Amino acid sequence: MTTPPVLSLALPSDTGRVLSIQSHTVQGYVGNKSAVFPLQLLGYDVDPINSVQFSNHTGYPTFKGQVLNGQQLCDLIEGLEANDLLFYTHVLTGYIGSVSFLDTILEVINKLRAVNAKLTYVCDPVMGDEGKLYVPEELVHVYREKVVPLASMLTPNQFEAEKLTGLRINSEEDGREACAILHAAGPSKVVITSITIGGILLLIGSHQKEKGLKPEQFKILIHKIPAYFTGTGDLMTALLLGWSNKYPDNLDKAAELAVSTLQALLRRTLDDYKRAGYDPTSSSLEIRLIQSQEEIRNPNVELKAEKYS
């Protein structure tokens, strides 16, 4: 008997084939559990590699599980390569806990680009938030010097953008300048997914369509929801990948769709915890991903992008 063709390669979807290298939890929605399902709903074939497999996210009192090392990642890639399965249109990465694993991911990206020179690499440089670093300090250098130059799209939060650029973001102008610095280092698309300025929460996006050209930039004011959620950054980056690929020349529209989905999902999550009789301000909340399928497929855009001149 001959091996049947891999239909995602033989009959590729109109959207793409994504390799997503992120964490995995048995229970709850963070990492790949937040990213894979929404991308599938948006029409993508997604192959997940789980950088860790934990019972639950680390915000619980305890967790158990395993951590993938660089050699194990290489083994998986070699298995795919041996069977001619290495053609991907996109790579998506999120939280990476060690320099050695991040270095291996860079080798993977170069290998995949040797197969498909048009590969899009979407990187969420997960390093910390609100002034606190939660990865080893040496990872910042690797992201800045090695990862950013390879990325097609970068989705840092305010703290991460500051670490990558060395620029303090105290204003919208600072946010726009940080995007320009990151463009110069590599990626054509940059979305700083959350910036707080004077108590106002906003997103700043920037698309440099050709090197040397002034980037097209925009902002979206975001409604603050009075609770803390896990997995939202992973979901946001997946949605930005999904929608920006469908609207490659309109990053502002892609961001509107992504933000609108996330806001609707968070409102649903908050309402459901309240309906269950739980005080949503007492701990971090697990997002209601499965219950929000319609908002993922067909978001109702309420928050509009405002283009900078």
Q: Which residues are catalytic?
A: 234
Write the burial class of residue 287 (CB in 10 Å: 0-12 exposed, 13-18 middle, 19+ buried).
Answer: buried
CB contact at 8 A, 187 and 165: no
- Which two tokens mark 56? 């639950």
* Nearest to 88, CA basis, from 18, 32, 38: 18
Q: Distance between terminal CA atoms of the chain?
A: 62
Identity at 94, one-letter amino acid code: G
With a CB cutoff of 8 Å and minimum separation 6, the contacts of 164 are 125, 140, 143, 144, 148, 154, 156, 178, 182
Residue with tokens 């908050």: 270
Half-sphere exposure of 50 (CA within 13 A, CB side): 14
CB contact at 8 A, 251 and 189: yes
Distance between CA atoms of residues 251 and 257, nearest Å: 10
Give DSSP secondary structure letters for 226-274.
SS-EESHHHHHHHHHHHHHHHSTT-HHHHHHHHHHHHHHHHHHHHHHHH
Distance between CA atoms of residues 128 and 139, nearest Å: 11
* Greatest extent of the chain over all pairs of C-alpha atoms, in Å: 66
Distance between CA atoms of residues 194 and 159, nearest Å: 9
